[in-house]
Amino acid sequence: MRRLQRIETSLPHPMYAWPKVFGLLRPTACAFVIFLGRYVPWPGVKNAMLRGLGCRIGPFAAVGLGATFDIFRPDLISVGTGAIIGYNVTILTHEFRPDGVYVGPVEIGDGALIGANATVLAGVRIGAGAQVGAGAVVAGDIPDGGRAFGVPARVVEEARDSWRSTPTGHSIRRSRKASSWRRRPT
Ligand SMILES: CC(C)(COP(=O)(O)OP(=O)(O)OC[C@H]1O[C@@H](n2cnc3c(N)ncnc32)[C@H](O)[C@@H]1OP(=O)(O)O)[C@@H](O)C(=O)NCCC(=O)NCCS
């Protein structure tokens, strides 16, 4: 179940009246920074830009080219230490619907991987060390160390009791099948 909150509005077409719902200036400024950031190749610079909008971005998190964060409520997005957000990933914290506007936080845990072109819907938590396959649509929580693929993303493997350390020394649970963390030849 996603953590969504409905914003009460009497507007018949909320998407046409987004300034009344979210204000005019802040989303406009966020849109400018976020769309500029899509083309910034330096992770540190991009992280600073996103933090400036209120996103919580952990150390060594990396956001790929073309990734788009929600322009209305970027402050509801948190990305954990060492997490990887792939090319063209979309992270939403709002959704306009015929019956109104909903918002919800998105939490991406330490060391998680969101594959290229995935879409993360508002109100979900992606656990530490979880992996989301490229092209997936995340419409529900993914547990720590879980792997999820497809549309909607289905968890194909539960958390396993194995751990790895991030560059900052955090220990995060990982999936045993995660090929990127298999032991490298010495
Ligand atoms: C999550 C990911 C890393 C998993 O890779 P992996 O551990 O090598 O997984 P495998 O290739 O062994 O695939 C395991 C199973 O999942 C399936 N699978 C892999 N990726 C999938 C995807 N994106 N969507 C649906 N199914 C997928 C495979 O077909 C395989 O199924 P099978 O067991 O029935 O044969 C990979 O799917 C992925 O998304 N890579 C992109 C990473 C990325 O975008 N990084 C940031 C930008 S560089």
Separation of CA 46 and ligand 1 centre (Å) = 26
Specify the pTM.
0.87
Query: What is the torsional sign of CA 46, 62, 82, 131?
Result: positive
Q: Is 181 in the pocket of ligand 1 (CB under 6 A)?
A: no
Residue type at 95 in one-letter notation: E
Percent of the chain topping pLDDT 90: 74
Please tell me the distance between residue 97's alpha carbon and the centre of ligand 1 in angstroms: 32
Determine the Cα–Cα distance for residues 148 and 157; give it in Å rounded to an integer.
8
Q: What is the pLDDT of residue 9?
A: 81
Q: Report pLDDT digits (tens) over 109-150.
A: 999 999 999 999 999 999 999 999 999 999 999 999 999 999
- Decide: 134 in ligand 1 pocket, CB within 6 A: yes
- CA 105 to ligand 1 centroid distance, Å: 26
For the chain, domains (ranges, CATH) are: 5-159 (2.160.10.10)
Q: Are strands 131-132 and 147-149 parallel, antiparallel or unpaired?
A: parallel
d(CA 37, CA 48): 10
Which residue of 149, 175, 177, 181 sits with most ligand 1 atoms within 8 Å of its CB, as the best mutation to test the pocket? Answer: 149
115 in contact with ligand 1, CB cutoff 6 A: yes
Nearest CA to ligand 1 atom 21: 133
Q: Rounded distance, CA 174 to CA 153, Å?
A: 18
- Band of residue 55 on the pLDDT scale cut at 50, 70, 90: very high
pLDDT, one tens digit per residue, over 28-48 is 999 999 999 999 999 999 999
List, edge to edge, every strand of the sheet that includes 137-138. Answer: 68-69, 90-91, 119-120, 137-138
At 12, the pLDDT band (50, 70, 90 cuts) reads: confident
Per the prediction, the chain carries an average pLDDT of 88
Distance CA(32)–CA(125), nearest Å, equals 26
The predicted structure's pLDDT at residue 8: 83
Residue 171's pLDDT is what?
Answer: 57
